[in-house]
Structure 1
Amino acid sequence: MVPRTSYDSQATASDATVEERDEKPYRDDASADDAPLYPPTRVSSRYHAHDELEDGLGGVRLDDDEQVGLMQADRDARKPHQGSRIWSQLRSSPQRSDKRRPTAFSGCLIFSGVVIGFMLALPLLQWLSSNTASAAPASTSVGTAKPSNNISSDASIESVHSWKQPASPNTPAGHYALANTQLFKVDFQDPGWETVAQAAAGTGLTEAEVTSFKTHDGHDLMPLDMDTVFSGTLAPQTSDLTWSEEDPDEGVFSHVDWTKRDIWLEDVTHARHQKTGSGKVAPFGGKVLVVEGKNVLDANGRMLTWTSFKLSPDLRWVLFFTEETDQWRYSKKSHLWLHDIAAKKTTQLGSGPKAPPKVTYAAWAPRSAGASTDEAPTIAFVEENNLFVVPRAGESAVKVTDDGAATIFNAVPDWVYEEEVFGTDSVMWFSPAGSKLVFLRLDETAVPVYEFPIYNPDLYRAGMTQAYQKMTRMKYPKPGFANPTVSVKMIDLDEIRSATRQGGAVRPTQYTLHSPMSSKGKAADEVDRLLSTDAGVKERLVTEVKWVSDSALLVKETDRYSDVMRIVHFDVARGMLPTMKAGSAGADVEGEVMRKQDARADKSGWIRAAQTIEPLSHHNLSVGSTAYLDIVVSPQGFRHLAYYDSATSDQPVFLTDGAWEIAALKHVDARRRRAYFVAARPTPALRNAYYVELPDWQASASSRTPATYTLKEPVPLTDVSKPGSYDVRFDPKGAYYVLDYQGPDVPYQKVVGVDDASFELMLEENVLLRQMSSQYVKPSSTFYQLVLNSTLADGSRAVASVQEIRPHDFDASGETKYPVLVRVYGGPDSQLVDARWARADWHQYVASTLGYIVVVVDARGTGFRGQAYRATVAGKLGDAEAHDVNEAAAAIATLPYVDEKRVGVWGWSYGGYLTAKSVELDKKVFSLAVSVAPVTSWAFYDSVYTERYMKSPHTNRKGYEASAVHVNSAFGKTKYLLMQGSADDNVHFSNSAHLLDMLTKAKIRGFRFRMFTDSAHSISVRGAYRELFEEMTSFIAELWGAGGRREPKGAKAKNRPALHNSVERRA
């Protein structure tokens, strides 16, 4: 489940269908975000930057085909606001049977009671009148429900005036309105604006440059409306610069003129000179037209409308992909074409153009430095789950495997490996010099089938539901059921190339790489036993495969439950391989265990599925070393960069240290002896780029031991003096990098020189976005740490990361009370609170236009706070997270400007699950809750993700039961909205069906439910994405009414006693 991420992941439909494989699979539109981060797009492994996953949850991406209004299903009937509970109780109370004649005395009593009651009610009537008059009007966009002035009241929630912290000004001196409690520790604020002068100051523009529009309510700046949010008006532009590894020169990149489909190569010095007129062009630098689109023709002479391409290592050939159709989150099916640049000739590889697209992956093999320039490069591609190799471009393809089927995958992942392990569309790896190819074979024959109906097969037109629905069938492993069986295979590409020179049929030898029973020269321990038994081998997971030289391979394997891990080294130099006759079916090669980890022993909770190993020789084989870097947990419990002296080393030499974590290793430069990385530092919400020097691997080994190596402080590449979120993308030669500034200010991208620090080439400055953004009012975002009552395993106090998004006209005095919408995701190792650009975001609309405060919370279990923080949730998902969310919301409700009767919570995917668990706790904090596509029982989710954190449902039965959503009276007291797509391949619709069934059984009647027909986890089919947010906006606005409300004159808030103060003292 991604934390990708989001509606931070792309749409993920089911993996391989078992039947009708040649038919185009039904797909939700994958261009929209889904939630999890589903998890994030930027943590490694499952959280690829999403790395991923990643803009974040709530960062709006649009479906290209989205048409608002195509599917305007009727919403639930709006219930009238209920009157006073006291009045309703009086009306329903039984009448007395002993009626008595009224007396004069009783008449006097009645008269006196009326007079006294009127006198008592007069201040209340005055307050109501004042409150109605002073309530801030909420601007709305077309199609958005206008907030009412009613409020859903719950007697169980504390009075507006009770337990309030003293007010402080919204200034740095006042700690941005959080000065009067030790629980709130402010990190920084991204200021908002309300006026032209403020917008000019905030954007760096002059007031004349800020285009000012008069709106209907007389404000200088425009309110943010839903159309602006969903149109992409405030979304940043990004450069399409892609570094070229094929060109031998430094700083060369490719880009496409899409009007002609021409492909260009250019070096950055020439690009700067062309753009600015300054600077010298490097020797051999310039701009070259590599491919003219008009020359790329099919067999009928028609120009190919290709959508992506891959240049060959010798820059003489191009692979083109056409008719790409989404399969799952990362994988696609396409037609594959080979173009000879010099001959201007294009031929198709694989099935012909009349067949449906069947190629799921294709790539060029790298070439060694000494390879003959006369020999064309090698291609590998996968069609219908079989691996093919083209020994030399232009020759016939050699079929390497012939067992590919709907349930057998060669060199490409099945659904669960793509979604939960590798987060990519291939599981094959060329050796650095291109002499060998390793790939995974995945057999999901024993995995049970999950199926769901498609009611309307037309992605664009509503009302096309069929009389009989077609079922989508997919192999989907769930906890306690069979997983796909994985094996590691290898072929010798030199053998194939040699055999084709001799002519005749070629049958490549397949080697199977086996893990040993135990470490060399050592007795088997518990880790070995769990991974070497028949059951262990059958159910193991292979989570990383990495070449550290052309003959040294590392394979990382874990048990099914991600409790134990081994890294196995394979020496596959030609002299080390078994001697086989030509055409032999295969042979076994046994590796040697180099590293181990037992997460049960070191209390780390689980082994994450992440690809973090990077060899020193990655971009420079002449290094002649098998040394490599990896991101591992330090003795202090934080993920840091470690150096391993060789492929056979088991002793890490840590190159970084401290109470912070590395988010991603970005580049290893052996020539300059540097390792570049991005870290969540100085606070978890920020991202800064750094480098550290590498040990001298040519010096004496004694200088590179954990005891003798001297740690050095990382050198920042970015400005760490002010809040920012950065990423970097390096030229493979290491001379330049793209610096990608992602927020909180307007994003930009530029190329920076490594050797020449003065070199700078601006790629995208988003000047228009800066000016457009200045025309709209902007909410402020305050980032802080909230100290919780909980204690971590290392004895430290738990702290939640919080981002508080406040209306542009925020009043910190406490005279105005704001509703608070808490946004959660909360999946293990995920992150929502970050400093990236978020103007094109529904939450910004909620704050600036509805006048609500949005609070984003990352609680225990989330990422970048260390092992003790993450591991808290192991075996009991939903427990610590829900307690933290409730505690954080309760603490925020004590702030002087918060209306604690109007506090709600919402989330998508894992966030939808956490929302339901937060309601289930019944802490009387939330008056409303919204769950989108939630897990409701971990028995329903996929086994690889679930068992990583929850282990076996047989040994942790109580944990599974406790972690499921339980319906209780709290769901009746909380206004609850549940939404999900009927074709969700990730979090199956059975989760919502299960919850609805429990709500029915419990006689809970006050909730609302919305199903989006045929939408997958992203909920984006036929305009559903926009409609989901319209529904949520309507739901919240109808219940809460206008945002900030003025306090009645003379009312005084009570300071909260005992509980909060005692927590402060302990802090």
Structure 2
Amino acid sequence: MRYFKFSICVYFILTSLLSAQNQLISLEEIWGGVFRTESMDVLHSMENGKQYSVLNFDRNTGSTSIDIYDYQTLEKVQTLVSSTNIPQLRYFVDYTFSNDEQKVLLATEVEQIYRHSSRAIYFVYDINTEEVVKLHDEKVQEPTFSPDGSKVAFALDNNLYIKDLLSGNTTQITSDGKKNSIINGVTDWVYEEEFAFVKAFDWNTDSNKIAFIRFDETDVPEFSMDVYGTALYPQQYVFKYPKAGENNSKVSIHMYDLETNKSHEIKVKNTFDDFYIPKLKWTNSANNLCAIYLNRHQNEAHIWLINTVTKQSEIILTEKDEAYIEEGYPIHFLKDNTFLWISETDGYNHIYHYSEKGKLINQVTMGSWEVTEYYGFDEKTQRIFYQSVENGSINRDVYSVKLNGRNKKRLTKNEGTNSASFSADFSYFINAFSNATTPPKYTLNSADSGNLIKGIKDNDRLLQELSNYKISKKEFSTINVNGNDLNMWMIKPANFDDSKQYPLLMYQYSGPGSQSAANSWHSYNDYWYQHLAQQGYIIACVDGRGTGFKGADFKKVTYLNLVKYETEDQIEVAKKLGELPYVDADRIGIWGWSYGGHMSTNCLLKGNDVFKMAIAVAPVTSWRFYDTIYTERFMRTPQENPDGYDDNSPFNYPEMLKGDYLLVHGSGDDNVHVQHTMRMVEALIQANKDFDWAIYPDKNHGIYGGNTRLHLFRKMTNFIHENLGDKREFE
């Protein structure tokens, strides 16, 4: 009798455990934030090298604070400033210290403009006096302390201003700024989107000069979008958008002298007829300015050194490439004004050390792997700190190496994705680590050895929560396609049975230099893939030719023919995976967003005997409609390369559609305009092809806000069930 009772007890315990581990992920949970990870927000190392600050949010009071922590003890030693003590502020969402860390800029009421740009109300908090001063009554852009902390420069309505924090006076230093015409000190739309920077001005080290880029976009064609909103009539949003082959902004460099209160244009003997200025920064000399001029084809860059007193200028380095130079243009001046330049000169992205006049001193890193991030240089130990893919292209590790290229040391120990935030004196670094099975963990490590000192923050709570769900492993491998070993991951149903056949959904992005097969923690999409795996689907992702971190040749093979080789690779991958005994070759689908949407569309059309269905979200459908900087970098202009633009544009061959197709776009997409989808729709209609589509009103390229993401992914999930599933119930 006792044995019987014990057996019942064990049965109920085992049943409850199994039941707990079989919980299914719902779409509402994914986009309701159930699986949100904890992070360290706005991490800043204090100049003393002994402490760091983070932005903390108190959910109970709705307030924010800048809290100071000790590196050695990890204990909070001080709340530097809290919004609860500032009547003008309910909360702030970002902060920036002055160089001497005696003042801090606090951002509130932030309003997003485009991908990287925003405007906000800013306050200056004086740490010594605890005084709070509003920077300006209106929302401004890119406020930046002068190096001596006495002033703040900012942009407003396409003009530049300087506020003197001692006198409280504000000086307008440009006056010709005008919407859709002249921009001073901040970038135009295409520079922001494709060169990924907004602030186009810089203080010199003596705080008495500001150099800035002026954009004359008068001749740039305008694009307009209807904004439907909630009013009786929609409004029209008009902005300058240079499509491939069209006019760009005319750019010039100017300098304002605070001692004379005058500005003038800085000219060099530039030999490019049509050019970009993707980088402007002062060197460590108060009079020497560095500017990079890039030709329109983006395959030749000139690094100029300009003496703003003598007006003399010279090219100190020229970078050339048969295809294109990768964006970023990372140049880092050391205290002696020698500089580090990161380049693909030898076929892989590596660090080079040059003299002040541009003579190569040495190549610091080398090998058939790529440097992915530069963290800094320790003058005391002569060590460079960087991140690379030396431990496999799907992983990231942090390394140190001497400036002379010797004594390289791997500082991170765990396989996966590691990134670092170093203390100001390079004694410590906070390592952010994750992989496909470990959510983000933050640890304090020695910058000398890389050894763990203490744990700071983890997501063990989330890991414990996920133990209640039926989760499938993300399996990494490679697949040989068209003569290349391509990185791949696959997710199978948790109760996978290799004697059965399953439908396959493929995901890819495929854009130049991108990576989707990475050993890192789940994105929101990964939870969706787990949801689909629970419904009986296999999910796979393969990075084909043209993607990144495997050398320049692998990436640049797609030059002048975007989407051609990438499409061939995905079709061949689908064929190979369809040969697996557990994959139903008659039920293979593919989906993607943006570039990936172009790809999924092309795959469905050109691989119409392989793919049964495709989903394209915010897809490019013709590179003729996309912007100059991105498109021409890889394709040159439509005038030079018409076949490259048209041969892989899917609305030129809509008659090839056989499978099921879902097309989705946001009507307010300023990046990939809804025009792309409308042209595809019209082509399909005239080809008398059936398809499904959805337009999300006023939503941008990200298609989010409120219930939007949930609605979108429910629509996509139902489409997959209807067109990739079958009538039997998945187990």
- Asked if Structure 1 and Structure 2 have the same fold, meaning a TM-score greater than 0.5 normalized by the shorter chain, the answer is yes
Distance 1:326 1:309 in 2: 16
The structure 2 residue matched to 1:632, chosen from 343, 352, 355, is: 343
1:614 aligns with 2:307: no
1:965 aligns with 2:650: yes
Distance 2:411 2:362 in 1: 23
The structure 1 residue matched to 2:133, chosen from 337, 340, 347, is: 347
The answer on whether the counterparts of 2:268 and 2:313 sit within 8 Å (CA) in structure 1 is yes
Provide the residue aligned with 1:251 in structure 2. 51
The answer on whether the counterparts of 2:605 and 2:657 sit within 8 Å (CA) in structure 1 is no
Provide the residue aligned with 1:473 in structure 2. 238
The structure 1 residue matched to 2:31, chosen from 225, 230, 238, is: 230
* Residue aligned with 1:649, SS: coil
Correspondence 1:524-563 to 2 at 5 A: 528=271, 531=272, 536=273, 539-551=274-286, 552-563=288-299
The structure 1 residue matched to 2:66, chosen from 237, 256, 263, is: 263
Distance of aligned partners of 1:485 and 1:978 in 2 relative to their CA distance in 1, 3 Å threshold: same
Provide the residue aligned with 1:914 in structure 2. 599
The structure 1 residue matched to 2:722, chosen from 1030, 1038, 1060, is: 1038
The answer on whether the counterparts of 1:680 and 1:688 sit within 8 Å (CA) in structure 2 is yes
The answer on whether the counterparts of 2:212 and 2:253 sit within 8 Å (CA) in structure 1 is yes
The structure 1 residue matched to 2:417, chosen from 704, 715, 725, is: 725
Cα root mean square deviation, aligned: 2.6
1:804 aligns with 2:526: no
Alignment: residue pair count: 713
Alignment gaps of 5+ in structure 2? 1-9
Distance of aligned partners of 1:1045 and 1:650 in 2 relative to their CA distance in 1, 3 Å threshold: farther
The answer on whether the counterparts of 1:851 and 1:1044 sit within 8 Å (CA) in structure 2 is no
Distance of aligned partners of 1:220 and 1:390 in 2 relative to their CA distance in 1, 3 Å threshold: closer
The answer on whether the counterparts of 2:109 and 2:120 sit within 8 Å (CA) in structure 1 is yes
1:668 aligns with 2:668: no
Correspondence 1:720-759 to 2 at 5 A: 723-744=415-436, 745-755=438-448
Distance 1:1002 1:251 in 2: 65
Provide the residue aligned with 2:548 in structure 1. 863
Provide the residue aligned with 2:530 in structure 1. 845
Correspondence 1:151-230 to 2 at 5 A: 220-230=21-31
Distance 1:960 1:757 in 2: 48
1:988 aligns with 2:673: yes
Q: Residue type matched to 1:293 in 2?
A: S
Distance of aligned partners of 1:758 and 1:909 in 2 relative to their CA distance in 1, 3 Å threshold: closer
The answer on whether the counterparts of 1:886 and 1:923 sit within 8 Å (CA) in structure 2 is no
The structure 2 residue matched to 1:485, chosen from 250, 263, 269, is: 250
Provide the residue aligned with 1:715 in structure 2. 409
> How far is the alpha carbon of 1:985 from its aligned partner?
0.8
The answer on whether the counterparts of 2:53 and 2:66 sit within 8 Å (CA) in structure 1 is no
> How far is the alpha carbon of 1:609 from its aligned partner?
2.0
The answer on whether the counterparts of 2:31 and 2:709 sit within 8 Å (CA) in structure 1 is no
1:950 aligns with 2:635: yes
Correspondence 1:373-772 to 2 at 5 A: 377-406=150-179, 407-421=181-195, 423-432=196-205, 434-455=207-228, 457=229, 464=230, 466-493=231-258, 495=259, 508-517=261-270, 528=271, 531=272, 536=273, 539-551=274-286, 552-572=288-308, 577-578=309-310, 589-600=311-322, 605-617=323-335, 625-635=336-346, 637-644=347-354, 646-651=355-360, 653-695=362-404, 711-712=405-406, 714-719=408-413, 723-744=415-436, 745-755=438-448, 760-772=453-465
Alignment gaps of 5+ in structure 1? 1-206, 275-286, 368-375, 458-463, 496-506, 518-527, 579-588, 618-624, 696-710, 790-796, 1048-1067
Give the TM-score normalised by structure 1. Answer: 0.64
> How far is the alpha carbon of 1:800 from its aligned partner?
2.0
1:905 aligns with 2:590: yes
Distance 1:395 1:346 in 2: 12
The answer on whether the counterparts of 1:851 and 1:1043 sit within 8 Å (CA) in structure 2 is no
Distance of aligned partners of 1:257 and 1:843 in 2 relative to their CA distance in 1, 3 Å threshold: closer
Deviation readout 1:844-898 (Å, 9 max, x if unpaired): 3344312111111211111111111111111111111111111111111111211
> How far is the alpha carbon of 1:1018 from its aligned partner?
0.8
Q: Residue type matched to 1:886 in 2?
A: I
> How far is the alpha carbon of 1:967 from its aligned partner?
5.1
> How far is the alpha carbon of 1:1045 from its aligned partner?
9.0
Distance of aligned partners of 1:294 and 1:842 in 2 relative to their CA distance in 1, 3 Å threshold: closer
> How far is the alpha carbon of 1:213 from its aligned partner?
5.0
Distance of aligned partners of 1:230 and 1:420 in 2 relative to their CA distance in 1, 3 Å threshold: same
The answer on whether the counterparts of 1:788 and 1:888 sit within 8 Å (CA) in structure 2 is yes
The answer on whether the counterparts of 1:240 and 1:255 sit within 8 Å (CA) in structure 2 is yes
Give the structure with higher Rg (CA). Answer: 1
The answer on whether the counterparts of 2:67 and 2:78 sit within 8 Å (CA) in structure 1 is yes
Give the TM-score normalised by structure 2. Answer: 0.92
The structure 2 residue matched to 1:779, chosen from 434, 457, 472, is: 472
The answer on whether the counterparts of 1:442 and 1:487 sit within 8 Å (CA) in structure 2 is yes
Distance 2:158 2:237 in 1: 19
Correspondence 1:991-1010 to 2 at 5 A: 991-1005=676-690, 1007-1010=691-694
Distance 1:257 1:394 in 2: 33
1:310 aligns with 2:310: no
The answer on whether the counterparts of 1:516 and 1:590 sit within 8 Å (CA) in structure 2 is no
> How far is the alpha carbon of 1:271 from its aligned partner?
2.6
Distance 1:765 1:289 in 2: 22
The answer on whether the counterparts of 1:213 and 1:775 sit within 8 Å (CA) in structure 2 is no
The answer on whether the counterparts of 1:262 and 1:291 sit within 8 Å (CA) in structure 2 is yes
Distance 1:609 1:241 in 2: 25
Distance of aligned partners of 1:212 and 1:862 in 2 relative to their CA distance in 1, 3 Å threshold: farther
Provide the residue aligned with 1:293 in structure 2. 83
Distance of aligned partners of 1:213 and 1:389 in 2 relative to their CA distance in 1, 3 Å threshold: farther
The answer on whether the counterparts of 1:361 and 1:383 sit within 8 Å (CA) in structure 2 is no
Distance of aligned partners of 1:655 and 1:313 in 2 relative to their CA distance in 1, 3 Å threshold: closer
Q: How many percent identity over aligned positions?
A: 27
* Residue aligned with 1:973, SS: coil
* Residue aligned with 2:360, SS: coil
Q: Residue type matched to 1:545 in 2?
A: L
The answer on whether the counterparts of 1:229 and 1:845 sit within 8 Å (CA) in structure 2 is no
Moved more, 915-924 or 965-974: 965-974
* Residue aligned with 1:685, SS: coil
The answer on whether the counterparts of 1:547 and 1:553 sit within 8 Å (CA) in structure 2 is yes
Q: Residue type matched to 1:291 in 2?
A: V
Q: Residue type matched to 2:52 in 1?
A: V
Distance 2:160 2:40 in 1: 34
* Residue aligned with 1:747, SS: strand
Distance of aligned partners of 1:936 and 1:1046 in 2 relative to their CA distance in 1, 3 Å threshold: closer
Distance of aligned partners of 1:254 and 1:834 in 2 relative to their CA distance in 1, 3 Å threshold: closer
* Residue aligned with 1:939, SS: helix
Distance of aligned partners of 1:490 and 1:839 in 2 relative to their CA distance in 1, 3 Å threshold: closer
Provide the residue aligned with 1:332 in structure 2. 118
> How far is the alpha carbon of 1:927 from its aligned partner?
0.6
* Residue aligned with 1:592, SS: strand
From the two aligned structures, give the one with the greater strand fraction. 2
Provide the residue aligned with 1:34 in structure 2. none
The answer on whether the counterparts of 1:211 and 1:774 sit within 8 Å (CA) in structure 2 is no
Distance 1:468 1:768 in 2: 49
Distance of aligned partners of 1:963 and 1:1012 in 2 relative to their CA distance in 1, 3 Å threshold: same
